[in-house]
Structures are given as C-alpha cells and as structure tokens.
Amino acid sequence: MHTYATESYTTDAFWEAVRGRLARAEIDPENLWGNAKLAKTNFHHSWIHAFEMAFSNADFLTACLARDGADVPRPFILRFHKAAERATEQDADNWATSFAEAAAYVYECCRDSLVFPDQCSVDRIAGRLSLRLQGEPFAEVAPMVATAARRESDVDRARSTLVGFRDADDPIAELCKRLSRWPGMERLQADESTSNVLWGYHLPVPAEWLWTARRMLASAGRPSDLSSAQKFIAALFGAESFNHAIHGRASVIASLAGPWKVGFSDWDSHESTTFHLDPYTGLSTFVELVRSRADDWSRQILVANRGSTLASLALILQSGEHTFDYIPDSIMLSQMTCVWPEESGSVAAVETALRDESGQLMKDLFMVDLAGEARIEELISTLPVKSIGATESWRFVYRPDKRYVGALHVSAIGNVTSEAYVPTYKGTLVYDEGMAAWVLFSDNNYTRPVAAMRSLPPSLVAKVQALLDRAPGPYRGLRDEERREVKRLLAETEGVNL
C-alpha cells in the first residue's frame, strides 16, 4: 500500500488493532464512546463509530508518519490543463511524493483514458516534465516551490486560528470570528449554510489529538490530565511514548499530511497560485491575498468546503453571495490531494525512461511519435478486446469475457475522444431516419442512446448487430428526450480534432 493510502482506516482489522493497543494501555474503548459533545449525536452504533467521528484517517496517517520518523515530503506538483480534461477527473493541481510517481500517474491517466500527448519535454535533473497536445498545454510535473510566510508572527496567529475551533457550537462562525481579528479582515462574514461542513473538522496535529483524548477520558470518568491524555494518544497511534514519537516532532507534524495551495478558486490564474508545506503558512498567504482585494470587494463571505480525502479542507472567500445569475470572485485555501500510480510497473517504466539521457524513451512511453492509425492500433492493443471493424473516425471492439461491444470515437491524431459500451444481451444498433445517423443504444427499448455516428459501412453494421444477440423489438423512432441526447452525442464527436 502506498504511504499516503488510507483504505485500511475503514476495515474491521484496523479497528481491532486499535482495540488491542488500547487494551495494552488498560483502556477499554467501549467505555469511551458516549461523548455527545464529540459526536453531536446519541446514535452511535459502536465505539468504532465514535472513534471515527473523533479521529480522522488523516490523524492516523500523520501520527504513523511521525512515529516512524518520516521526513517532510518533497512534493512534486502535477498540473493538468484543459487539453487533458478527458485524461483525468482530478483537480487542476495535485501532488506526488516523487518525480517518478508523478510522471507514472500522468502516464496511467493517459493510458486509461486512451488520450496521449504529441509533444514531450523532460528534464531529468530538475525533475520536470512538460506535455503538449496539438500545441496546447496538456500536463506538467515540477518540484513544488514552497512559499514561506512573510512574518513568523503570522504563522503563530494562523496556528491559533486553525486549531481548536471545532469545540464551538457554530464552527464556521467561530472560525470567521477568529479570522476577522486579523488586520484587514474585519468585514468578514460567515456563510452559515456551511457551518455543518466544519463540524468535527480538525487539523491532524497533537494539540487536537490531546483535546479529543481529554474529552473522551473525562466522559468515561477517567483521569483526563495531560499525562493521561498523552498515554492515550500514544496507545491509540501505536507509539512507544507521546514525547518520543509525537511531541518530539511537533515542528514538522503539520507538514506531514501534505501541502496546501492558495489562489483564485478557478485556478485559471496559475501565476497567482502559491504552494505551502503546512496550513499555517498557507493561511497567512491566504489573508495577504484577501487583503490585496479588499478595496475591490464590497463584501467578504467565508465559505467552507470539506473533501473526502484525508481531512481535507477548503476555505473560500467570496466577493458576494453565489446566486443563479452571479458567480462571485473567490480566493481559496485548500489542502492538496496526493496521487500515485496504481501499478508498480508504471513507476518502473518511468524510472527506465529517466535513465535515457536523450529523452527518447520518455517520448516513446507517452507515444508522442505515434499518430493516426499507428497510435489507435497501439492503444487498442493494450485493451483486453478484439477489434470488430473501423471507419475513419470510429472503432468497434468486442470483449468476449465481459460480453460487451464498445464504440470508440477516434480523432485524427489517434486519441480516443469518447467511448461507449453496451452489453451484448440487450444493446442495439439502429439507423434513425430523422437524425440521419446510426444510434447505439444500451437497451433494447431504444431509450438509452450512448453513441451516434453519421455513417457506417453495411459490413461493419452486420458484424456489430450479429454480436448483439438479443433480438430487439420494432424500432419506432426517437422520442423528444432521446432525440436531444442523440443531437448532443453527435455534437460531441463532430469536429473533434484532439
């Protein structure tokens, strides 16, 4: 499992191990799960549920890294551009723990989406990779340049701002009150609709862990002094002692969970985006950027958004309320997502390519010298499918073990721009006179069009229809809803050049 993977957090085995560690410290977790203040509910199903509400996966990850002596990560930033929107569903900027992992992740995004660039530039020494497609930026990898806080006092102020606000009845109001004490932030207002988003949120840092431990111990009628809380935390996270494994690394713990970024929330203005090793320097820069816009914004509204990875948080400052007719300008502080390749072979392929001083192996990996028919044939050869037939812009494939037929739309350069798959037992391919197009449906009731093409040779139609082995009912044309969808499908593929 990757260092920053946290899947085990939700398994029974993980929590049984936690129970065992607490038992060795003479702590019974069953007696610690009645704290209504921590959970905001009286409907806990078990002590595990209570602990999941009190400690995030980021807490366990960060404590484990601190316990094992991990260094502060040297992040590499991955940036995907508009030309790569089919290749990834990630945000514009993510991070990886090494150059090889970052490049391998980009490679897997290309491979899985069947979209590759046609230009590649790599600097092995600096750890930089630049990919382009049809002259447009596609993806970039580069070492993160961390921005430091202008004043150490701002870091201290940020720490006191971000730590401990979950104890409030209204967390967003409490955070807003703390931020409004910063010079230049006096006009800040909280978006009360996002208050519940922040309930329970906390940074994965020792001060928050000790606060939670003392509350849980006190709720069980046990001693809740600092020493008892430290013993509880050490047992919970499997550390030899709190001081040795956690407190002794207090200066770096806030940086172990990964970097943060500050910038305009649409991230189009990349030159204004800054990266930070910890949330405290991030918040100080966030405030500086807000101050720079103070005269331009009549209002300052603080909105919170909480992601699903780690204990991720985004603080968004808007110039006004978001309405149907108005999208306000906004500045965002957000925790970045760590990404990594799924297969070790991808990293090995990148590492092999990086040993080539000419850079040709990296170009070969990203198929930049293959185009048109050669590229699409190479792409299809990597799939567990058999080719049925092709036109200039479409490829039909068949996967016998899964029993589905696929229609792949191919651009002139040989990338797949869209793909649709239908099960052989109910998929249908018919010609619609009104739309003057062949329509592939994923059902034999003709209600779910998934691909549409203007023309297909009769021989290819016969091959595809022969694989769709369930005879459909009579086709009576498209209803208005299906007609709109077919128009959209045709517009999606006609004129595509990437």
* Strand stretches in 169-282, DSSP E: 188-190, 260-264, 274-276
Asked if residue 447 is part of any domain, the answer here is: yes
In a domain? residue 264: no
Give the pLDDT of residue 314.
79
- Gap between the Cα atoms of 19 and 393, Å rounded: 58
What is the pLDDT at residue 269? 55
Instruction: Determine which helix (DSSP H) or strand (DSSP E) holds 129, and give its type and residue range.
Output: strand 128-133
User: Tokens 């405030």 correspond to what residue?
Assistant: 287
Alpha carbons within 13 A on the beta-carbon side of 380: 26
Whole-angstrom distance, CA of residue 264 vs CA of residue 332: 6
Is 386 inside a domain boundary?
yes
In a domain, 152, yes or no: no
Q: What strand order describes the sheet that includes 404-410? A: 386-390, 394-399, 404-410, 416-423
Beta strands at 188-190 and 300-306: parallel, antiparallel or unpaired: parallel
Distance of CA 220 to the CA centre of its chain: 38
Would you state the pLDDT for residue 41?
Answer: 43
pLDDT value, residue 476: 87
72/69 Cα distance (integer angstroms): 10
Judged by phi (left if over 0) then psi (alpha if -120 to 50, else beta), residue 371 lies in beta
- CB distance 363 to 369 below 8 Å: yes
pLDDT values of the chain reduced to their tens digit, one per residue, 498 residues = 687 777 688 888 899 999 999 999 888 888 775 544 444 444 345 788 888 888 988 899 999 999 888 888 999 999 999 888 888 876 568 999 999 999 999 999 999 999 999 999 999 999 999 999 999 999 999 999 999 888 889 999 999 999 988 878 888 899 999 999 999 898 888 887 777 778 888 999 999 999 999 988 988 888 999 999 999 999 999 998 998 777 777 778 999 989 999 988 654 555 678 999 999 999 999 999 888 887 777 788 888 887 654 456 778 877 666 655 556 678 889 889 899 999 999 999 999 999 999 999 999 999 999 999 999 999 999 899 999 999 999 999 999 888 999 999 999 999 999 999 999 999 999 999 999 999 999 998 899 999 999 999 999 999 999 999 766 678 889 999 999 999 999 998 886 555
- Token pair recorded at residue 193: 């609709």
Q: Which of 416, 374, 494 is nearest to 115 (CA)?
A: 416
Q: What is the dihedral of CA 36, 39, 40, 41, to 10 degrees?
A: -80
State how many domains the chain has: 1
pTM over 0.75: yes
Q: What is the CATH number of the domain that holds 455?
A: 2.30.29
Print the domain residue range for 465.
373-493
Name residues whose C-beta falls within 8 Å of residue 201's C-beta, 6 or more positions apart in sequence. 166, 171, 304, 306, 311, 313
Give the gyration radius of the chain's Cα atoms: 27
Query: Is residue 418 assigned to a domain?
Result: yes
Whole-angstrom distance, CA of residue 186 vs CA of residue 181? 6
Q: Is residue 389 part of a domain?
A: yes
Does 147 reside within a domain?
no
Structural domain contains residue 331: no
Helix (H) or strand (E) holding 373: helix 373-381
- Please give the pLDDT value at position 358: 94
